[in-house]
Structure 1
């Protein structure tokens, strides 16, 4: 974790818990607004076209701030983590007090910046907390649960707060949690000394990758609205690729690269990021379209829809916090990863058979339990495989790379799946299917694109 300049008396496990709480809070806010979107639209008078930016405004900074992980390597990960949590918490208050579309979208963007800065360093700190393989696997398992659990708990907390209080409280709740995290982190997270800015002051590279990644994510998430063949998409897409190409060239020729290209010579690190991209793309689709299925087809309330995701969070917690570490220690990361991926694929196939007159216990619960088991096994193995390929001094930038891959996977996955679902729903409506039948047929495509349910 860099060079320590002071130590705390806190247990390393307490430090891991603090960092994982921060990760869960940040991930939770990525999809906590899904259930509350109708209430936000009614409360602030959002247009249908702009409502999606309540989500996208948070996602875009995550895709672009790859440099935050490297910044932690240079100036100290503790300082970067605390800065990010402070910015995240303050902007959460602004989101809660937002009185207009513009104010909420801008505040969400700033909130995303704070979340990206903080989370870019968390995995690097967690992965280097222990040298023992079993304890390291357990720590990464805790991080995996925080990431996945935040996604699964989001709809539940969203439903409770929106139904019992108002949509504003899905943001207000971050302020006291963030303040408590900052106070506890100052006492439990040890100071670390980074390499120094002279080791990586690649400002041009930072500018190129930030601009390129943010532009790429913006182009992707707005493609469904603007059109994949629109002038906006056809111009901004190649421009973002050009900026990223400039970044790669800069990394190959610069004396102090922000992201050394040697990283990608590691097959383990590269494969782990590719797998994470695909898994997170699928998980985003699961959470988003399952929420729509429960509310629009089964007619669940916000609270009922949120409670429906409790089992998947429980299974992910049980597996990632206990079983995964034992299996990884005994069999290794690759076999556990493959087993988890097989279960995830099986869960998506199961979801493609949900019915118009479905029953939660038969149509949704079994698939969600299998998904929780698969993700609880795959995520710790996947992240452990990637982080084992880098040195402790490089763990910050590797953590930032994982963070960026996760967010881009979510953005691209949800956008592509939304396009497929919309096209399928419209085609079914055009041939005379009822609204509910068309919706379910569209959701089936998100789970298994080759399935023709009608």
Structure 2
């Protein structure tokens, strides 16, 4: 088993938070810059979508592998390697002179993030023991993660308008440098395990292929459509690979994902919840941004600035959730937070083509963001609750994969909903109707997340809040479905 001297917990938290900020920032920072990128590098309309898709595909496809690699080869090592790859590819993207160079750089960023993100979360769960300390640490990590996604829109708009599109890539360099400096300052390296397990190569191939194909099929629905033979074939192939992955993991002595981990109600419930919440959150960012630009006629910088109240609400919700969860359990915030976010998105669905920022955006932004903050802070605590230290990377990779898949699938599905409502019309009123319908569906997803939190998560304390849970034995090496009690 790995031993962790814990080093300096505050430095570990700072390093993980800074790295996660950069990873979350990159999910949204390029969106506003896409028109400028297309003009500068000569992208075709179809090729331009790959600037976003390449990052999402690589990140979603390799998160499980990255999480397990951290368990086997050292979380600090994978964290540093992932950050280094992320930083080098950010530089390459900022210097790109041709479309293929930028797409390759974005894919490299996704690979680096897939190694660094689960390692960062695993470092936190092994540095901070279950109880209020871990709740506060994961609250900071979750808040920074959420703020990074929201502020990415602002940063993208300001950088594109006043510094040039290349800076949406180059901005990562100082952030990565700060994170690496923090690692050297106080993040300890784990000792090698007494018995080195081999990486589950078959599981890695099946999981990466299945998840990657699923993400790719979802990302391509804007071109192929959900009912096209190409999309259906890819989805069927992804399903076959994922079923084969489940079977292979049940037979593997050292699986990439121990299926018994999903027997725990905290782990299973939190992953289902974050899947639904991410689908609603990603869609909200996307459609509200489009509404402000294509219906209200706001520019990139103004659109980015309009997300500041959303960022403030996320931070406020995170602070409240951290305090409540530290005293009680994650469930105490997850149910009301999801309901509040659902109410905020339902309010957003009342947008009007004749509206404005003060009448149609500000109020629902604050309500939705506070509710989202109440959800995002404790859900990471729930997803890692009761997990053995040697499987922290496995649980972190699963959690990050659930969030990434939820975001990709939800956004693709809701974009199809909006396009179906809009039809061939391109006027502000038609676009408004499509965005409003999709925001209504996003509200329903958060309402369903509240139901999952209410039904699936345990009512009593399980160590997430007060740290009074009964001790759990280390999870067995055998991959049995009954291996993890709920």
TM category (shorter chain) comes to: over 0.9
Q: Who is 1:2 aligned against?
A: 2
**Is 2:342–2:442's contact at 8 Å kept on the other side of the alignment?**
no
Q: Who is 2:429 aligned against?
A: 437
1:4-43, aligned counterparts within 5 Å?
4=4, 8=7, 10=8, 12-43=9-40
1:219-238 CA-to-partner distances (Å, cap 9, x unmatched) read 11112212223232122221
**Counterpart Cα distance in 1 of 2:116 and 2:85:** 9
**Is 1:88–1:111's contact at 8 Å kept on the other side of the alignment?**
yes
1:263-314 CA-to-partner distances (Å, cap 9, x unmatched) read 1111211110111001011111111111111111111111110011111112
**Is 1:281–1:409's contact at 8 Å kept on the other side of the alignment?**
yes
**Is 2:421–2:434's contact at 8 Å kept on the other side of the alignment?**
yes
**Counterpart Cα distance in 2 of 1:213 and 1:343:** 31
1:336-390 CA-to-partner distances (Å, cap 9, x unmatched) read 1101000110011000001111121121111111111111111122111121131
Q: Who is 1:348 aligned against?
A: 345
**Counterpart Cα distance in 2 of 1:197 and 1:232:** 45
**Counterpart Cα distance in 2 of 1:53 and 1:153:** 22
**Counterpart Cα distance in 2 of 1:183 and 1:385:** 30
Matched, 1:365 2:362: yes
**Counterpart Cα distance in 1 of 2:217 and 2:321:** 37
TM superposition score normalised by structure 2? 0.88
Once the 2 structures are TM-superposed, how far is the Cα of residue 181 of structure 1 from its aligned partner? Answer: 1.9
**Is 1:62–1:403's contact at 8 Å kept on the other side of the alignment?**
no
**Counterpart Cα distance in 2 of 1:374 and 1:405:** 20
**Counterpart Cα distance in 2 of 1:309 and 1:84:** 29
**Is 1:77–1:194's contact at 8 Å kept on the other side of the alignment?**
no
1:395-433 CA-to-partner distances (Å, cap 9, x unmatched) read 111001111111111110110011111111116x3xxxx
Specify which of 256, 271, 274 is matched with residue 272 of structure 2. 274
Q: Who is 2:324 aligned against?
A: 327
**Counterpart Cα distance in 1 of 2:294 and 2:81:** 40
Q: Who is 2:225 aligned against?
A: 227
| Number of aligned residues | 442
Task: Report SS of the residue matched to 1:448.
Answer: helix
Matched, 1:123 2:115: no
Once the 2 structures are TM-superposed, how far is the Cα of residue 42 of structure 1 from its aligned partner? Answer: 1.3
Q: Who is 1:112 aligned against?
A: 110
**Is 1:281–1:412's contact at 8 Å kept on the other side of the alignment?**
yes
1:136-147, aligned counterparts within 5 Å?
136-147=134-145
Once the 2 structures are TM-superposed, how far is the Cα of residue 7 of structure 1 from its aligned partner? Answer: 6.2
1:301-316, aligned counterparts within 5 Å?
301-316=299-314
Q: Who is 1:236 aligned against?
A: 234
**Counterpart Cα distance in 1 of 2:438 and 2:392:** 34
Q: Who is 1:411 aligned against?
A: 408
Q: Who is 2:464 aligned against?
A: none
Specify which of 139, 156, 159 is matched with residue 157 of structure 2. 159
1:372-391, aligned counterparts within 5 Å?
372-391=369-388
Q: CA, structure 1 residues 362+2, in 2 after alignment: closer, same or farther (shift >3 Å)?
A: farther
Q: CA, structure 1 residues 114+196, in 2 after alignment: closer, same or farther (shift >3 Å)?
A: farther
Q: CA, structure 1 residues 196+366, in 2 after alignment: closer, same or farther (shift >3 Å)?
A: farther
Q: Who is 1:74 aligned against?
A: 72
Task: Report SS of the residue matched to 1:255.
Answer: coil
**Is 2:76–2:187's contact at 8 Å kept on the other side of the alignment?**
yes
Q: CA, structure 1 residues 166+411, in 2 after alignment: closer, same or farther (shift >3 Å)?
A: same
Specify which of 166, 172, 179 is matched with residue 177 of structure 2. 179
TM superposition score normalised by structure 1? 0.94
Alignment gaps of 5+ in structure 2: 444-486
**Counterpart Cα distance in 2 of 1:175 and 1:450:** 34
**Is 1:74–1:196's contact at 8 Å kept on the other side of the alignment?**
no
Alignment gaps of 5+ in structure 1: none
Specify which of 420, 425, 438 is matched with residue 423 of structure 1. 420
Specify which of 184, 202, 205 is matched with residue 207 of structure 1. 205
Once the 2 structures are TM-superposed, how far is the Cα of residue 450 of structure 1 from its aligned partner? Answer: 10
